[in-house]
Every structure is written in structure tokens, then in C-alpha cells.
Amino acid sequence: MIKRKIVVLLAGCFLAVAAVAPSFAESAAAPAKTAGAGNVLGSLYTHISEDMKAEAPSLQARPVQLQPQQGKDLLFAMAEKAVKEHPDRFEAFVFRGSMYYINGEKEKGFADLDHAVSLAPENPLSYGSRAEFYARDGKDKEALQDWDKALSLNPTDEVRDKIYFQRGLFHMARKQNEEAVSDFKEDLKYINSKLRFAMHLAKGDCYSRLGNKEEAEKSYREAVKERPDHPVCWLAMGDFYSEQMKKYDKAESCYDKAIALYPRSALFLRSAGLNALKTKKNEKALDYFTKSIAASPSYWQGYSLRGSAYALMEKYEPAAADFTKAMELKKEPDALLLTLRGDCYNKLGLNDKAVEDYTKAVELDPKNADAFESMGYIYSLKGEHDKAIPYYEKAIALHPKKGEAYNNLGYTWYLKGNKDKALEYLNKAIEVDPAYAESYRSRAEVYESMGEYDKALEDMDHFVTLSPKDAKGREFRDRLAKKA
């Protein structure tokens, strides 16, 4: 039971890692890639007054920590001053329009951005700046029109680079992956050579989403070729091999190269650990997760992953301790972590603690079928079958395709002496999940108690096929063979 729940936790972690890696890659390129407001500010600086120029360096050099709102106020004051001193400069209105938008005054922001375009109708950056904020505001049609207009004005290669990059990210965020690939391919003609790897990574992500594994692999390899010294390239290719290709050995090699380049990255270490768990290299996974905790001791996910590795290794005491630490660091209760810790307490014979965790998990997530099933299992172990049955029924109502819950409910009815009810639910368990071996063993016990040894033997043949390493299962099968 606990292994299946850990799979749910790990699946969430895989998604989290997959989401982080592309954004990490993009962030490396982002400072040079703003097609709008950020780009025009450098130009604006050369046109502001002498006293403003004198003031700006002193502001940068001052060892003062500004609060976020203080920083916004200062920038807004600078934007107002720029507009007042240079009402003919479109950059000044882009600056102030950006600040209005950031402060939530969108109508004023777009008024300034529109005015910027009217001041520089032949400058592609005026359109690129407005497109950026149209995109942020969900005005996709207007954003695309502005980017098209900017490209039609024959911009420099540097500006083309910025526009194609920004529009590619726009398409990527909207899952328009073919359009994104097209823009990233165009950007490769103009982009700074040091940042080409970022385009290949972005293309690889898009191809991967499109299911084009061949082109995705080619793109990730191009990224690594461009920047073999950049750990994110190896991370992205490792994620691709682990997630998409199921080539775990190749993924491990990529992760190890990323870690060699950046050994203190908790993200890289967690990714390598997750890959190791997929191939049941639990000891290796444990080592990666322990190192990830050392690298980032205040991040809760490292403990939740190490707890999972301990649980899979049947080391339930340290697993429970890690799940506890994860929740402390997360600073909020978590239904899945509570359920997993409850399972550990269950294995340790701490049934009262287990019930307490399952109860909290159900309160947090009334649709948590695992917690209801676990509560039923605890009461079954205690022989309180009448209390167990409603919990199994609730788990099934929430997850009607859950073979394990049907099996547990059927076996509980068998223990209560109702063999007809037992067979009803065990038959359903096999129907909804024919790969769940335990249902065949449970039904075989019922058939044996009814003297139907041939049917029992047939079920145990299925069980042994599905669980060939289960010694007790083979013994039961051999005993039935003699009876049959």
C-alpha cells in the first residue's frame, strides 16, 4: 500500500522538477532578452538629465536594503521625472507605463504605452514594449499584432533576436509548441552565440511536449554541444532521458555531469535521486537526497523524497522522521505526507498515531481515498471489521477503479464469515485491476474455504505469475496443487 502512495508523491516531484528545469534555463538568458520595457530603459538612460545621471550611480552604490514598495516608489518617481524632462522620448512613456502596470493601474499603463507608439511609430521597440504588456494582460491578439508590426519595420538583428525569443516564450506558455519551435528556430539566426544553448533547450522542451522524441533529443544534444560547461544543459537532457525515453542509465550519466559542474545544487541532486528510484537503486537515491538536504537544508521536498526512499527500503522510523521534518519546513499540514507518515506508524505498530495522521489527512482532503483505505486497514488489523468496512466503502466511492480497496473490503467480509459478499468484491477487484496480485491470493483463500480447490489453484497460478518472488505465495500454491 505504502509503495503506491509514494509513487503519487514522486509523480508530483517529477512534475515539479520538469517545471523548474526549463525556467532555470530561460532565466539564464532572460536578462539579455527583454523585447519591451527592459530593453528601452538602457536607451532612456542616455537621454535623461545630468542630475539624474549623477543620482543613479549613487543610488546603486548605496548599501541600503529597500523594501519592495520603496523600490517601486523610487522607480515610479524616476519614471515621472523622465516623462517630465523628456516628453518627446517614447522610452520615458514605456518606463512610466511599465510602472503603472506593475502598480495595478493598467489603464494608465496602456495609455502611456499607446502614447509611446504614437511618438515612435517607426521604431520596432515601441511595439515590442507594448506587446510584452499585452501578453501579460492576456490580450494575445493585440500582442501578436504588435510583434508582427515590429518585425515588419526591418529591425536590427539584436531586436529580431529579442522579439522572436519573447514571442516563442509566449507561444510556449500557451502550449502552442509548433509556433514556439518556429520562433525559436528563427531566433537561432540572430541570437548571441553564448545564448544559443537556451534556444536549443527551449526547442527540446517544445518537441518533447509534441511527442517528437527524435527532434527533442537532437535539440538537447545541440544544447550540450553549445555549452558542455553549463549544468542546466545536462539536467534538461537527463530529465528527457528519464521522463520521456525511460533510458535511466543515460539519464544518470547526464545528472552526474550536471552535479559535477554544480555539486551544491539541491535541484540536480533531487533529480538524480528521483531517477535512481525509478530503477530501484534505493541506496543511491538515499545518498542523492541526503546530499540535496545538505545543499538546501531548509527546503521541505528533500526530506519528503528521502523519507520516501527510506519507506521503500522498509526503514519506517527514519522515514516517519523525514516526513515530519518535511511538514515542519513546509509550515503547513499536507494530506499526502500525513498519509505516508501514518503508513510508517502503521508498519511500526503505532496504530493510534497512524489513525491520528489518517484522520487529519481526511480532514484536509475529504477526497483522499488513500487515507480512508488506510483507516480501514488499521481497523482490520485490530479485528474491528465493522468499523473497517465503511472506510473501505468510502475509498471505493472516491476511487471506483481502485482494485486494492475492493480487495481489502472483500477480504474483510471473508473474515466476517460472509463469503458471498467477499467474492462479490474480490471479483470486482480483479475486474478493475487485473494486475493487482493480492486480489487473486485473497480469492484463492475464499475458494479454498469453500472446497473449490481447482478455482483456488487457478487464482494462485495468476498470483505466482504476477509475484514470482513471493515465497509464501508459492507455498500456498503448492499446497493447493496437492489438494486439487
Q: CA-to-CA distance for 382 and 387, rounded, in angstroms?
A: 10
Q: CA-to-CA distance for 82 and 45, rounded, in angstroms?
A: 9
Q: Would you say residue 119 has pLDDT above 70? A: yes
What is the rounded average pLDDT of the residues 3-30?
44
Q: Would you say residue 50 has pLDDT above 50? A: no
Phi, psi of 242 (to 5 degrees): -75, -45
In which band, very low, low, confident or very high, does the pLDDT at 202 lie, cut at 50, 70 and 90? Answer: very high
What pLDDT, on the 0 to 100 scale, is given for residue 2? 56
Phi, psi of 153 (to 5 degrees): -90, 20
In which band, very low, low, confident or very high, does the pLDDT at 70 lie, cut at 50, 70 and 90? Answer: confident
Give me the residue label for grid cell 540536480.
268
In which band, very low, low, confident or very high, does the pLDDT at 30 lie, cut at 50, 70 and 90? Answer: very low
What pLDDT, on the 0 to 100 scale, is given for residue 54? 45
Residue 393 lies in a domain: no
Q: CA-to-CA distance for 405 and 396, rounded, in angstroms?
A: 6
Tally of structural domains, the chain: 1
DSSP H helices, 400-468, are: 403-415, 419-432, 438-449, 453-466
Give me the residue label for grid cell 530603459.
41
Count how many residues are written for the chain: 484
In which band, very low, low, confident or very high, does the pLDDT at 34 lie, cut at 50, 70 and 90? Answer: very low
What pLDDT, on the 0 to 100 scale, is given for residue 56? 45
In degrees, rounded to 5, the angle at the alpha carbon of residue 441 between the alpha carbons of residues 419 and 359 is 80
Taking CA atoms, 205 is separated from 191, 193, 265, in Å, by 18, 20, 21
What is the rounded average pLDDT of the residues 392-413?
92
Pick from 57-66, 177-186, 299-308: least confident: 57-66
What's the grid cell of residue 364? 484536509
Q: Would you say residue 424 has pLDDT above 90? A: yes
> Which one-letter DSSP state was computed for residue 245?
I
What is the rounded average pLDDT of the residues 162-189?
95
In which band, very low, low, confident or very high, does the pLDDT at 16 lie, cut at 50, 70 and 90? Answer: very low
pLDDT tens, 342-401?
A: 999 999 999 999 999 999 999 999 998 888 898 888 888 889 999 999 999 999 999 999
- The SS3 assignment for 36 reads coil
Residue 341 lies in a domain: no
pLDDT tens, 269-311?
A: 999 999 999 999 999 999 999 999 999 999 999 999 999 999 9
* Rounded (10°) CA dihedral 8, 21, 174, 31: 150
Residue 61 lies in a domain: yes
- Percent of the chain scored above 90 by pLDDT? 77
Residue 420 lies in a domain: no
What pLDDT, on the 0 to 100 scale, is given for residue 53? 41
- Percent of the chain scored above 70 by pLDDT? 86
In contact, 477 and 437? CB cutoff 8 Å: no
Domain of 46, in residue numbers: 33-155
Q: Angle of helix 300-312 relative to helix 316-330, nearest 10 degrees? A: 160
Q: Tell which phi-psi region holds residue 222, choosing left (phi > 0), alpha (psi between -120 and 50) or beta.
A: alpha
- The SS3 assignment for 287 reads helix
Residue 109 lies in a domain: yes
Element (H, E) at 379: helix 369-381
In which band, very low, low, confident or very high, does the pLDDT at 61 lie, cut at 50, 70 and 90? Answer: very low
Taking CA atoms, 311 is separated from 87, 308, 322, in Å, by 66, 5, 10
Q: Would you say residue 27 has pLDDT above 50? A: no
Give me the residue label for grid cell 528601452.
40
**Contact partners, residue 176, CB within 8 Å, separation at least 6:** none
Element (H, E) at 169: helix 157-173
Average pLDDT, the chain: 87
Residue 187 lies in a domain: no
What pLDDT, on the 0 to 100 scale, is given for residue 67? 75
What's the grid cell of residue 274? 528521483
Residue 123 lies in a domain: yes
Q: Would you say residue 66 has pLDDT above 90? A: no
What's the grid cell of residue 421? 459478499
In which band, very low, low, confident or very high, does the pLDDT at 48 lie, cut at 50, 70 and 90? Answer: very low
Give me the residue label for grid cell 516517519.
320
What's the grid cell of residue 467? 509475484
What's the grid cell of residue 440? 487473486
In which band, very low, low, confident or very high, does the pLDDT at 21 lie, cut at 50, 70 and 90? Answer: very low
What is the rounded average pLDDT of the residues 165-186?
96
Radius of gyration of the chain (CA): 30
CATH code for the domain in which residue 97 is found: 1.25.40.10
Residue 61 burial (10 A CB sphere; 0-12, 13-18, 19+): exposed
Q: CA-to-CA distance for 390 and 413, rounded, in angstroms?
A: 12
Q: CA-to-CA distance for 166 and 243, rounded, in angstroms?
A: 27
In which band, very low, low, confident or very high, does the pLDDT at 73 lie, cut at 50, 70 and 90? Answer: confident
In contact, 251 and 242? CB cutoff 8 Å: yes
Q: Would you say residue 241 has pLDDT above 60? A: yes
What pLDDT, on the 0 to 100 scale, is given for residue 288? 96
DSSP readout, 172-215?
Answer: HHTT-HHHHHHHHHHHTTTS-GGGHHHHHHHHHHHHHHHT-HHH
DSSP readout, 96-139?
Answer: HHHHHHHTT-HHHHHHHHHHHHHH-TT-HHHHHHHHHHHHHTT-
Alpha carbons within 13 angstroms on the beta-carbon side of residue 97 total: 28
Of 13, 11, 28, the closest CA to residue 266 belongs to 13
What pLDDT, on the 0 to 100 scale, is given for residue 263? 94
Residue 458 lies in a domain: no
What pLDDT, on the 0 to 100 scale, is given for residue 74? 87
What is the rounded average pLDDT of the residues 23-50?
39
> Which one-letter DSSP state was computed for residue 332?
S
